[in-house]
Amino acid sequence: MTIRSNGAGHGGRKNGSNWMDPGAVGNGRREADVVRTITQKMQAIASVRDSTDNVGATVNQNLQNQVTVMNAAGSGVAITSHLNAFNGQATGVEVFYWAGNEQMRILAAAVSKVIADTLGIPNRGAKPTTTFFVHRNTNPGVNVLLIEWCFIDNANDMRRLDQNMDQAIRAVMNVLGYNTSGTASSKPKTHNDYVTESPIQHGGGQQAKLELMKEVKKGILTARGWQGPGNHRFAYVFLMDRNTGKELARVSVPGIVRNDVNKHLGVPNGLRYGMQGDFDMSKFVGKNVYIMFRRTNDSAGNTTGGHQDFHFRDLALTIPKR
């Protein structure tokens, strides 16, 4: 069964370093942080709709925002990653599925087992539910697997998760059909692959495509693509914080002639719809960032006089230290 969405549980809006809902806590860790790391690693293998919510101001908003994305992604498997907590001694992995769905019970059991085997922790197995919000409020055909990877307040569980996270994620994705060789040696797609293969966006009578988002020159993150057509006089590339949705930096784009784009758009050659922006990575270390393109009639890059934005949130990456 095809994965349609994948996301991290808990979190919602972040105020400074504080999540609206950090989820379970233990051993100096927060569930919202750990499961976002898991989700990003899973997305690197199967780039599907990301149901992680970073804007909900309440627990209910956080849950509803996740469900909205799951439903929009359509029929198939919706993965949501979580961590358990109890008394510091409880241990193991378990996977919740909608009670009575035999196909999902089998899949949940397989996912639980492979995580337990890879991490070396107890397998608590597939658990039926009819009470969890994400299971009750998703559409028919949207089959939620809620994975409780381990217990965050159990030091041994967390140590094993930290040491074996990549192997466990590859094993899970193999069970879900994304590693046909059945071994951890299959090469997953990179972030560059997903940027290159990402679809053209449409909105406001315009189209846009992010074609490159990488460190072309050491310490410099380069974003390149195109946006058009239209009569806006100015163009900007923005670096955005995916956790807050706020701007980190902007670069004015003089316009790059892309006759291949002009041909695609059905407009004359010579028009400057190419976009490129370069950002100093040292200013944003540790930030989970994405690119936004904007065409506007405001010379400062704001929205006065009309504008059109395109957000490439699903192609976020975390800035490493250089």
pLDDT range class, residue 183, cuts 50, 70, 90: very low
Give pLDDT, residue 227.
97
Q: What is the CATH number of the domain that holds 20?
A: 3.40.630.40
> Which has the closest alpha carbon to 147: 177, 178, 169?
169
Q: Give yes or no: residues 167 and 252 share one domain.
A: no
Q: Give yes or no: residues 108 and 203 share one domain.
A: no
Q: pTM value? A: 0.58
The answer, yes or no, to whether residue 150 has pLDDT greater than 60, is: yes
- The average pLDDT across 189-200 equals 78
The answer, yes or no, to whether residue 44 has pLDDT greater than 90, is: no
Give pLDDT, residue 256.
92
pLDDT range class, residue 314, cuts 50, 70, 90: confident
pLDDT range class, residue 228, cuts 50, 70, 90: very high
- The average pLDDT across 76-96 equals 97
DSSP 89-151: S---EEEEEETT-HHHHHHHHHHHHHHHHHHT--EEEEEEES--HHHHHSPTTEEEEEEEEEE
**DSSP SS3 for 305:** coil
Q: Quick check: 222 and 278 in contact, CB under 8 A? A: yes
- The average pLDDT across 153-166 equals 95
> Which has the closest alpha carbon to 277: 301, 299, 251, 249?
251
Give pLDDT, residue 185.
40
Q: Give yes or no: residues 155 and 295 share one domain.
A: no
Please report, rounded to a whole number, the percentage of residues in the chain having pLDDT higher than 90.
Answer: 80
Structure tokens at 293: 């393109």
Average pLDDT, the chain: 92
Q: Give yes or no: residues 144 and 28 share one domain.
A: yes
Give pLDDT, residue 184.
38
pLDDT range class, residue 182, cuts 50, 70, 90: very low
Q: Give yes or no: residues 227 and 289 share one domain.
A: yes
Q: Within a domain: residue 204?
A: yes
The answer, yes or no, to whether residue 117 has pLDDT greater than 80, is: yes
Q: What is the CATH number of the domain that holds 301?
A: 2.60.40
Give pLDDT, residue 189.
57
Q: Within a domain: residue 182?
A: no
Structure tokens at 74: 């359509």
**DSSP SS3 for 250:** strand
Q: Give yes or no: residues 159 and 221 share one domain.
A: no
Q: Give yes or no: residues 62 and 162 share one domain.
A: yes
> pLDDT tens-digit profile of 235-270?
999 999 988 999 999 999 998 999 999 999 999 999
Supply the range of the domain harboring residue 112: 3-175
> pLDDT tens-digit profile of 280-296?
999 999 898 999 999 99
Q: Give yes or no: residues 97 and 217 share one domain.
A: no
Q: Within a domain: residue 188?
A: no
Higher pLDDT, residue 137 or 194: 137
**DSSP SS3 for 57:** coil
* C-alpha torsion sign, points 102, 106, 107, 111: positive
Give pLDDT, residue 37.
96
Give pLDDT, residue 321.
76
